[in-house]
Protein backbone atom coordinates (compact mmCIF):
# COMPACT_ATOMS: atom_id res chain seq x y z
CA UNK A 1 0.00 0.00 0.00
CA UNK A 2 1.32 3.49 -0.78
CA UNK A 3 0.64 6.32 1.66
CA UNK A 4 -2.41 8.43 0.86
CA UNK A 5 -2.84 12.14 1.45
CA UNK A 6 -6.30 11.70 2.95
CA UNK A 7 -7.66 9.72 5.86
CA UNK A 8 -9.34 6.40 5.17
CA UNK A 9 -12.71 5.59 6.75
CA UNK A 10 -13.57 1.97 7.52
CA UNK A 11 -16.85 0.60 8.90
CA UNK A 12 -16.24 -0.63 12.46
CA UNK A 13 -18.83 -3.39 12.16
CA UNK A 14 -17.12 -5.25 9.32
CA UNK A 15 -13.43 -4.35 9.67
CA UNK A 16 -10.77 -6.60 11.19
CA UNK A 17 -7.93 -5.60 13.51
CA UNK A 18 -5.45 -6.46 10.75
CA UNK A 19 -7.14 -4.08 8.33
CA UNK A 20 -7.13 -1.30 10.93
CA UNK A 21 -3.42 -1.88 11.62
CA UNK A 22 -2.54 -2.00 7.92
CA UNK A 23 -4.11 1.40 7.28
CA UNK A 24 -2.52 2.91 10.41
CA UNK A 25 0.89 1.61 9.34
CA UNK A 26 0.36 3.11 5.89
CA UNK A 27 -1.21 6.48 6.77
CA UNK A 28 -0.50 7.01 10.49
CA UNK A 29 -4.21 6.97 11.34
CA UNK A 30 -7.65 5.67 10.38
CA UNK A 31 -11.29 6.62 10.97
CA UNK A 32 -13.67 3.90 12.16
CA UNK A 33 -17.27 4.74 11.44
CA UNK A 34 -19.86 3.45 13.92
CA UNK A 35 -17.27 2.71 16.61
CA UNK A 36 -19.76 3.16 19.48
CA UNK A 37 -23.25 1.72 19.69
CA UNK A 38 -25.85 4.54 19.63
CA UNK A 39 -27.00 3.67 23.18
CA UNK A 40 -23.42 3.90 24.51
CA UNK A 41 -22.91 7.21 22.72
CA UNK A 42 -26.14 8.60 24.23
CA UNK A 43 -25.07 7.57 27.75
CA UNK A 44 -21.57 8.97 27.17
CA UNK A 45 -23.07 12.32 26.22
CA UNK A 46 -25.34 12.28 29.26
CA UNK A 47 -22.47 11.61 31.66
CA UNK A 48 -20.00 13.94 29.97
CA UNK A 49 -22.18 17.04 29.70
CA UNK A 50 -22.18 18.05 33.40
CA UNK A 51 -18.46 17.27 33.68
CA UNK A 52 -17.55 19.57 30.78
CA UNK A 53 -20.02 22.23 31.89
CA UNK A 54 -18.13 22.62 35.16
CA UNK A 55 -14.68 22.52 33.52
CA UNK A 56 -12.97 25.88 33.01
CA UNK A 57 -11.37 26.88 29.72
CA UNK A 58 -7.63 26.37 29.43
CA UNK A 59 -5.33 29.28 30.20
CA UNK A 60 -2.64 28.40 27.72
CA UNK A 61 -3.10 29.89 24.26
CA UNK A 62 0.05 28.12 23.05
CA UNK A 63 -1.27 24.56 23.20
CA UNK A 64 -4.26 23.80 25.45
CA UNK A 65 -6.46 26.58 24.01
CA UNK A 66 -8.32 29.35 25.81
CA UNK A 67 -11.69 28.38 24.29
CA UNK A 68 -11.20 24.69 24.91
CA UNK A 69 -12.34 22.66 27.90
CA UNK A 70 -10.35 19.60 28.91
CA UNK A 71 -11.57 17.13 31.51
CA UNK A 72 -9.39 14.22 32.63
CA UNK A 73 -9.38 11.30 35.06
CA UNK A 74 -12.04 9.71 32.90
CA UNK A 75 -11.79 6.13 34.20
CA UNK A 76 -13.02 7.51 37.51
CA UNK A 77 -15.78 9.60 35.97
CA UNK A 78 -17.32 7.78 33.00
CA UNK A 79 -18.81 4.29 33.23
CA UNK A 80 -18.10 3.42 29.61
CA UNK A 81 -14.33 3.97 29.66
CA UNK A 82 -13.53 0.22 29.97
CA UNK A 83 -15.82 -0.50 27.01
CA UNK A 84 -14.10 2.15 24.88
CA UNK A 85 -10.58 1.06 25.94
CA UNK A 86 -11.27 -2.64 25.41
CA UNK A 87 -13.14 -2.25 22.12
CA UNK A 88 -11.70 -5.10 20.04
CA UNK A 89 -10.62 -2.84 17.18
CA UNK A 90 -8.90 -0.24 19.35
CA UNK A 91 -7.42 -2.55 21.99
CA UNK A 92 -6.54 -5.10 19.31
CA UNK A 93 -4.80 -2.51 17.12
CA UNK A 94 -2.97 -0.99 20.10
CA UNK A 95 -1.65 -4.39 21.19
CA UNK A 96 -0.62 -5.36 17.69
CA UNK A 97 1.27 -2.11 17.07
CA UNK A 98 2.84 -1.61 20.50
CA UNK A 99 3.63 -5.16 21.58
CA UNK A 100 6.40 -5.75 19.06
CA UNK A 101 8.68 -8.37 20.65
CA UNK A 102 12.34 -7.72 21.26
CA UNK A 103 15.21 -9.98 22.25
CA UNK A 104 17.63 -9.31 25.09
CA UNK A 105 20.55 -11.13 26.63
CA UNK A 106 20.43 -12.04 30.32
CA UNK A 107 23.66 -13.86 30.98
CA UNK A 108 23.81 -16.77 28.55
CA UNK A 109 20.11 -16.66 27.81
CA UNK A 110 18.67 -14.80 24.89
CA UNK A 111 15.08 -14.11 25.85
CA UNK A 112 12.14 -12.63 24.04
CA UNK A 113 10.27 -9.80 25.73
CA UNK A 114 6.86 -8.55 24.73
CA UNK A 115 6.29 -5.03 26.07
CA UNK A 116 3.31 -4.35 28.33
CA UNK A 117 0.97 -1.49 27.56
CA UNK A 118 -0.84 0.94 29.82
CA UNK A 119 -3.22 3.88 29.71
CA UNK A 120 -1.20 7.06 29.31
CA UNK A 121 -3.84 9.77 29.09
CA UNK A 122 -7.60 10.28 29.12
CA UNK A 123 -9.23 13.56 28.15
CA UNK A 124 -12.57 14.89 26.99
CA UNK A 125 -11.80 17.84 24.72
CA UNK A 126 -14.47 20.40 23.91
CA UNK A 127 -13.43 23.00 21.35
CA UNK A 128 -15.69 26.05 21.43
CA UNK A 129 -16.46 28.50 18.60
CA UNK A 130 -13.63 30.97 18.07
CA UNK A 131 -10.87 28.59 19.16
CA UNK A 132 -7.96 28.71 16.72
CA UNK A 133 -6.13 25.62 15.56
CA UNK A 134 -3.70 23.88 17.87
CA UNK A 135 -0.06 23.67 16.82
CA UNK A 136 0.59 20.49 14.91
CA UNK A 137 2.60 18.07 17.01
CA UNK A 138 3.47 14.45 17.66
CA UNK A 139 2.11 13.18 20.97
CA UNK A 140 5.19 10.99 21.49
CA UNK A 141 7.07 14.26 22.00
CA UNK A 142 6.06 13.69 25.66
CA UNK A 143 8.42 10.70 25.63
CA UNK A 144 11.14 12.63 23.75
CA UNK A 145 10.75 9.96 21.05
CA UNK A 146 13.11 9.99 18.05
CA UNK A 147 12.12 9.10 14.47
CA UNK A 148 12.87 6.76 12.89
CA UNK A 149 15.62 5.68 15.30
CA UNK A 150 13.50 3.73 17.75
CA UNK A 151 11.79 1.61 15.13
CA UNK A 152 8.78 1.13 17.35
CA UNK A 153 5.73 3.11 18.37
CA UNK A 154 5.24 4.40 21.91
CA UNK A 155 1.56 5.32 21.68
CA UNK A 156 -1.73 4.34 20.00
CA UNK A 157 -4.41 6.95 20.60
CA UNK A 158 -8.12 7.25 19.96
CA UNK A 159 -10.44 10.21 19.55
CA UNK A 160 -14.10 9.27 19.80
CA UNK A 161 -16.43 11.80 18.20
CA UNK A 162 -18.99 12.68 20.88
CA UNK A 163 -20.47 15.27 18.53
CA UNK A 164 -20.05 15.26 14.76
CA UNK A 165 -16.52 16.26 13.69
CA UNK A 166 -16.37 18.59 10.68
CA UNK A 167 -13.73 20.69 8.91
CA UNK A 168 -15.47 23.79 10.30
CA UNK A 169 -15.94 22.82 13.95
CA UNK A 170 -12.40 21.70 14.75
CA UNK A 171 -12.29 18.07 13.57
CA UNK A 172 -8.80 16.85 14.48
CA UNK A 173 -6.13 17.89 11.95
CA UNK A 174 -3.91 15.03 10.79
CA UNK A 175 -1.01 14.86 8.33
CA UNK A 176 -1.36 11.44 6.69
CA UNK A 177 1.99 9.73 6.23
CA UNK A 178 3.81 12.03 8.67
CA UNK A 179 4.52 9.12 11.04
CA UNK A 180 7.21 8.12 8.54
CA UNK A 181 9.04 11.46 8.62
CA UNK A 182 12.35 11.89 10.36
CA UNK A 183 12.87 14.58 12.98
CA UNK A 184 14.33 17.09 10.51
CA UNK A 185 11.01 17.66 8.79
CA UNK A 186 8.51 19.98 10.44
CA UNK A 187 4.72 19.94 9.93
CA UNK A 188 2.95 22.55 7.82
CA UNK A 189 -0.71 23.47 8.18
CA UNK A 190 -1.38 23.02 4.42
CA UNK A 191 -0.37 19.37 4.69
CA UNK A 192 -3.02 18.58 7.31
CA UNK A 193 -6.49 17.23 6.59
CA UNK A 194 -9.49 17.51 8.91
CA UNK A 195 -10.99 14.45 10.54
CA UNK A 196 -14.57 14.46 9.33
CA UNK A 197 -16.73 11.85 11.03
CA UNK A 198 -20.20 11.51 12.52
CA UNK A 199 -20.69 11.24 16.28
CA UNK A 200 -19.99 7.70 17.49
CA UNK A 201 -17.09 7.25 15.06
CA UNK A 202 -13.45 7.30 16.13
CA UNK A 203 -10.06 8.32 14.82
CA UNK A 204 -7.20 6.02 15.82
CA UNK A 205 -3.66 7.32 15.29
CA UNK A 206 -0.17 6.76 16.55
CA UNK A 207 2.25 8.81 18.62
CA UNK A 208 4.48 9.62 15.66
CA UNK A 209 1.72 11.15 13.48
CA UNK A 210 1.55 14.95 13.30
CA UNK A 211 -1.89 16.19 14.32
CA UNK A 212 -3.66 18.85 16.38
CA UNK A 213 -7.08 20.17 17.30
CA UNK A 214 -8.69 22.10 14.44
CA UNK A 215 -10.00 25.66 14.59
CA UNK A 216 -13.69 26.02 15.30
CA UNK A 217 -15.30 28.58 13.00
CA UNK A 218 -18.80 27.11 13.45
CA UNK A 219 -21.56 28.15 15.85
CA UNK A 220 -21.43 25.08 18.08
CA UNK A 221 -18.78 23.30 20.14
CA UNK A 222 -17.03 20.10 19.08
CA UNK A 223 -16.62 17.40 21.72
CA UNK A 224 -14.21 14.48 21.51
CA UNK A 225 -13.06 11.87 23.98
CA UNK A 226 -9.47 10.81 23.71
CA UNK A 227 -7.33 8.22 25.46
CA UNK A 228 -4.03 6.55 24.69
CA UNK A 229 -2.39 3.20 25.19
CA UNK A 230 1.37 3.60 25.63
CA UNK A 231 4.27 1.27 26.22
CA UNK A 232 4.12 0.55 29.96
CA UNK A 233 7.84 1.24 30.38
CA UNK A 234 7.12 4.91 29.69
CA UNK A 235 5.79 7.29 32.31
CA UNK A 236 2.07 8.01 32.16
CA UNK A 237 1.43 11.47 30.76
CA UNK A 238 -1.69 11.77 32.92
CA UNK A 239 -0.97 10.22 36.31
CA UNK A 240 -3.64 7.53 36.62
CA UNK A 241 -2.71 6.62 40.22
CA UNK A 242 -3.63 10.12 41.34
CA UNK A 243 -6.45 10.84 38.86
CA UNK A 244 -8.85 8.03 39.75
CA UNK A 245 -10.54 8.14 43.16
CA UNK A 246 -9.44 5.21 45.29
CA UNK A 247 -13.01 3.99 45.81
CA UNK A 248 -13.57 3.63 42.04
CA UNK A 249 -10.78 1.09 41.56
CA UNK A 250 -12.55 -2.01 42.95
CA UNK A 251 -15.34 -1.45 40.40
CA UNK A 252 -12.91 -1.97 37.53
CA UNK A 253 -11.83 -5.38 36.25
CA UNK A 254 -8.32 -6.64 37.02
CA UNK A 255 -7.44 -6.25 33.35
CA UNK A 256 -8.41 -2.57 33.43
CA UNK A 257 -6.71 -2.01 36.80
CA UNK A 258 -3.50 -3.39 35.33
CA UNK A 259 -3.87 -1.24 32.21
CA UNK A 260 -4.16 1.76 34.52
CA UNK A 261 -0.77 0.89 35.99
CA UNK A 262 -1.76 -1.31 38.93
CA UNK A 263 0.51 -4.15 38.03
CA UNK A 264 4.09 -4.95 37.20
CA UNK A 265 4.51 -6.78 33.98
CA UNK A 266 7.12 -8.58 32.02
CA UNK A 267 10.16 -6.66 33.27
CA UNK A 268 8.85 -5.90 36.78
CA UNK A 269 8.43 -2.20 36.08
CA UNK A 270 6.57 -0.59 38.95
CA UNK A 271 7.22 -3.34 41.51
CA UNK A 272 6.85 -2.77 45.24
CA UNK A 273 9.15 -4.31 47.84
CA UNK A 274 7.19 -6.18 50.51
CA UNK A 275 8.85 -8.44 53.02
CA UNK A 276 12.06 -8.54 51.03
CA UNK A 277 10.39 -9.52 47.74
CA UNK A 278 9.81 -7.42 44.66
CA UNK A 279 6.07 -7.97 44.24
CA UNK A 280 3.57 -7.12 41.53
CA UNK A 281 1.86 -3.84 42.48
CA UNK A 282 -1.53 -5.43 41.89
CA UNK A 283 -1.16 -7.38 45.14
CA UNK A 284 -1.55 -4.08 47.01
CA UNK A 285 -4.96 -3.56 45.47
CA UNK A 286 -5.96 -7.13 46.26
CA UNK A 287 -4.97 -6.60 49.91
CA UNK A 288 -6.69 -3.23 50.12
CA UNK A 289 -3.31 -1.86 51.17
CA UNK A 290 -3.51 1.31 49.09
CA UNK A 291 -4.70 4.63 50.34
CA UNK A 292 -3.95 7.40 47.90
CA UNK A 293 -4.78 11.08 47.68
CA UNK A 294 -6.54 12.04 44.45
CA UNK A 295 -7.21 15.29 42.67
CA UNK A 296 -10.97 15.18 43.20
O1 LIG B 1 -8.67 18.01 20.13
C2 LIG B 1 -8.11 17.40 19.21
O3 LIG B 1 -8.70 17.12 18.17
C4 LIG B 1 -6.67 16.99 19.32
C5 LIG B 1 -6.01 17.44 20.59
C6 LIG B 1 -4.59 17.04 20.71
O7 LIG B 1 -4.00 16.52 19.81
C8 LIG B 1 -3.87 17.27 21.96
O9 LIG B 1 -4.37 18.02 22.83
O10 LIG B 1 -2.75 16.73 22.11
FE1 LIG C 1 -2.14 15.64 20.45
Q: Kindly report, residue by residue over 170-205, the tens digit of the pLDDT.
A: 999 999 999 999 999 999 999 999 999 999 999 999
* pTM reported for the whole predicted model: 0.96
Which homologous superfamily does the CATH classification assign to the domain defined by 9-286?
Answer: q2cbj1_9rhob like domain (2.60.120.620)
Q: Kindly report, residue by residue over 218-227, the tens digit of the pLDDT.
A: 999 999 999 9
Residue nearest to atom 6 of ligand 1 (CA): 212
Instruction: Tell me the mean pLDDT in the region 47-51.
Output: 98
Residue 286, pLDDT score: 85
Residue nearest to atom 7 of ligand 1 (CA): 212
Rounded CA separation 33/216 (Å):
22
Percent of the chain surpassing pLDDT 90: 86
Q: Confidence band (pLDDT; 50, 70, 90) for 289?
A: low
Residue 12, pLDDT score: 98
Pocket test for ligand 1, best of 201, 212, 214 (most atoms within 8 A of CB): 212
Domain ranges of the chain: 9-286
How far, in Å, from the CA of 212 to the mean position of ligand 1? 5
- Weakest mean pLDDT among 120-134, 204-218, 242-256: 242-256
Rounded CA separation 35/24 (Å):
16
Rounded CA separation 91/100 (Å):
14
Residue 266, pLDDT score: 77
Q: Kindly report, residue by residue over 167-179, the tens digit of the pLDDT.
A: 999 999 999 999 9
Ligand 1 proximity of 224 Cβ (cutoff 6 Å): yes
- For residue 281, what is the DSSP state? T
Do the beta carbons of residue 173 and residue 28 sit within 8 Å?
A: no
Residue nearest to atom 4 of ligand 1 (CA): 213
Residue nearest to atom 8 of ligand 1 (CA): 212
Pocket test for ligand 1, best of 70, 71, 127, 134 (most atoms within 8 A of CB): 134
Rounded CA separation 295/293 (Å):
7
Closest CA to 123 of 35, 195, 64: 64
Percent of the chain surpassing pLDDT 70: 96
Residue nearest to atom 5 of ligand 1 (CA): 213
Amino acid sequence: MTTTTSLTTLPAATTSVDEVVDVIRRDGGVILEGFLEPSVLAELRRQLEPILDETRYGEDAYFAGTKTRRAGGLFGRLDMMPEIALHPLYYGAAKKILQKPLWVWVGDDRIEMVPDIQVGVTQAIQIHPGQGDQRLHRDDTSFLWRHPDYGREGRVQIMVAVTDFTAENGGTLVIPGSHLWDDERGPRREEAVSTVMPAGSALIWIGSTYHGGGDNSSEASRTGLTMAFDLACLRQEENQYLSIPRDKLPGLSEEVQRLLGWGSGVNLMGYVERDGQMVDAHTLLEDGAVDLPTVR
